[in-house]
Amino acid sequence: MDLFNTNVVGNIHLFNAFMPLVLKGNVKKVATISTGLADQELAIKYGIYEAAPYSISKAAMNMTTVKFQAEYQKDGVLFLSLSPGSVNTGQYDERMYPFFWCTQFMADRVIVSEEQQKGFAIMGGKFMEYAPHFKGPISVEESVESLMNVVNNASLEKGDAGAFLSHLGNKSWL
């Protein structure tokens, strides 16, 4: 429930709180952070069942974005769900496990059980099958720059209404 409350309910409240300002603004764009793990086709094609609660909450957020798009499109507002890619935020200890973006943590301590390590290795293998070119997470700066390019280039006229895109402006998640 924590993930759903954060990723869906929290964003609904945020959208509702800021819509009066968005409607008055010159740039009527709203973007939310999603994840490639919420991509149904990716999950099916590569058998990615791991991280289910997180993925489900982000998929629900993607639908929330679409519903807001449907409501506010007549007002010229563009809503987007964007995956930032795999980002090295510095909050994970990569020495503990190489697929550190999947670990659970509490405070500054990374908690990774042997069972979780096995699961992460399986999911990491699926990621490598999906994107053999993937060399690891990008920097926060690179992700933000990429996301801003996607937001700046997206428009209702280009057909981006309610789109679910990666930091690359497409559906390439890594």
- Residues 122, 46 contacting (CB under 8 angstroms): no
Tell me the two tokens of residue 24: 């008055």
Q: Catalytic annotation on 58? A: yes
CA distances 12 to 41, 59, 75, 87, Å, are 25, 14, 18, 24
Tell me the two tokens of residue 8: 């869906």
HSE-CB at 151 with a 13 A cutoff on CA atoms is 20
134 Ramachandran zone, left/alpha/beta (phi>0; psi -120 to 50): beta
Cα–Cα distance for residue pair 53/116, rounded to 1 Å: 15
Q: Please report the beta strands in 43-158, taking only residues with DSSP state E, as ranges in sequence order.
A: 78-83, 87-88, 104-106, 109-111, 138-139
- Residues 12, 57 contacting (CB under 8 angstroms): no
Catalytic residue among 28, 54, 67, 171: 54
- Residues 78, 160 contacting (CB under 8 angstroms): yes
Q: Catalytic annotation on 171? A: no
Instruction: Please give the positions annotated as active site.
Output: 54, 58
